[in-house]
Amino acid sequence: MIAYIARRLLILPIILFGVSMLIFSMIMMLGPYQRLSTYINDPAQLKGAEDIDQLVSKYGLNDPWYEQYGRWIGGVLKGDFGWSESAGAPVTKAIADRFPATLELALLSLVPVIFGGIILGVLSAVHHNKALDHTIRIFAVIGWSFPSFVFGLIVLMIFYGVLGWLPPGRLSNWATEIVRSADFVSYTGMYILDGILNFNFSIVLDAIRHLIAPVITISILWWAFILRITRSNMLETLKKDYIRTARAKGLADNIVVYKHAVRNALIPVVTVAGQMVLGLAGGLVIVESIFNIRGLGQFMANAAQQLDYPGVLGGALYFGFLLILINLFVDVSYAVIDPRIRLE
Residues in contact with another protein by the rule CB under 8 A: 30-31, 33-49, 51-52, 54-55, 58-59, 83, 85-90, 94, 97, 153, 156-157, 160-165, 167-169, 173, 180, 289-292, 294, 298-299, 302, 307
> Helix 2-10 to helix 309-337 angle, to the nearest 10 degrees?
160
**Shortest Å distance, C-beta 118 to another protein:** 31
Q: Name every residue whose Cβ is closer than 8 Å to that of residue 159 and which is 6 or more positions away in sequence.
A: 165, 166, 212, 213
DSSP secondary structure code for residue 282 in this structure: T
Residues in the chain: 344
Q: Which residues pair with 90 in a beta bridge?
A: 83
Nearer to another protein among residue 79 and residue 164 (C-beta): 164
Nearer to another protein among residue 160 and residue 321 (C-beta): 160
**Shortest Å distance, C-beta 286 to another protein:** 9
Nearer to another protein among residue 39 and residue 139 (C-beta): 39
Nearer to another protein among residue 48 and residue 79 (C-beta): 48
C-alpha torsion 331→341→233→333, nearest 10: -30
**Shortest Å distance, C-beta 34 to another protein:** 4
**Shortest Å distance, C-beta 42 to another protein:** 8
Nearer to another protein among residue 40 and residue 328 (C-beta): 40
- Nearest to 219, CA basis, from 323, 115, 338, 76: 115
Nearer to another protein among residue 112 and residue 168 (C-beta): 168
**Shortest Å distance, C-beta 206 to another protein:** 14
303 within 8 A of 311, measured Cβ to Cβ = yes
Q: Name every residue whose Cβ is closer than 8 Å to that of residue 144 and which is 6 or more positions away in sequence.
A: 221, 224, 225, 228
152 within 8 A of 217, measured Cβ to Cβ = yes
**Shortest Å distance, C-beta 133 to another protein:** 26
